[in-house]
Amino acid sequence: MSKRVAGPEIERLIQLLAKVPGLGPRSARRAALHLIKKKEQLLAPLASAMGEAVEKVRVCSNCGNVDTADPCMICTDPRRDQSTIIVVEDVSDLWALERATGLNALYHVLGGTLSPLDGIGPDQLTIRQLVDRIAAGEVKEVILAVNATVEGQTTAHYLTDQLAEFGVRVTRLAHGVPVGGELDYLDEGTLAAALKSRTVF
Ligand SMILES: [Zn+2]
């Protein structure tokens, strides 16, 4: 066991911070020390923001997004196009798309991808809720914005089958050359996908 340099409260803070994505034990120690030094300006407001988040954060029962209201702000936003749903694996993907797109649509967060080997079937995801939303009849297009991984694509195929009977347009994100990307650096799979989904100039 490594030698302790601080009391149990500080050790606990370091251990918890080390579990945050992007922070290993070393950066957790640096972060903890920074927080402790800035007790009034940072540690106290952070603690109260976290306390408030613990109390108020909930999962939207309609779309699976996290917010402080249920239904979430996106679901209740009347300015959003109610005829388009973008399906994502995780809330982080929703946030990424919101930062990037001009598309003012609704979302559906699956909570992962189908992965039979890990025991994740349709019932472990929010697929039933998605089908119910489509069955309600207002949605015209479902955009499958899942990852370009084997699990993501398996999930996309499964969803396409599930949604076939409703007559909605099911689309997926294009796979191919990233903006600013050089062809020479792309792997064969990406290049092949880019060629296959070529568009008229
Ligand atoms: Zn929602």
Q: What pLDDT shows up at residue 59?
A: 96
In the chain, the domains with their CATH numbers are 71-172 (3.40.1360.10)
pLDDT digits (tens, 9 = 90+) for 150-169: 999 999 999 999 999 999 99
In this prediction, what percent of the chain has a pLDDT beyond 70? 99
d(CA 66, CA 120): 21
d(CA 21, CA 144): 26
105 SS3 class = strand
Q: Output DSSP code: residue 42.
A: I
Average confidence (pLDDT) over 36-55: 96
pLDDT digits (tens, 9 = 90+) for 98-122: 998 778 999 999 999 999 889 999 9
Its pTM stands at 0.85
Q: Is the pLDDT of residue 201 over 90?
A: no
* Ligand 1: centre distance to CA 109 (Å): 9
* Ligand 1: centre distance to CA 106 (Å): 8
Q: Is the pLDDT of residue 1 over 60?
A: no
d(CA 7, CA 29): 13
Neighbouring residues of the ion ligand 1, judged by CB less than 5 Å: 60, 62-63, 65, 71-72, 75
* Ligand 1: centre distance to CA 153 (Å): 24
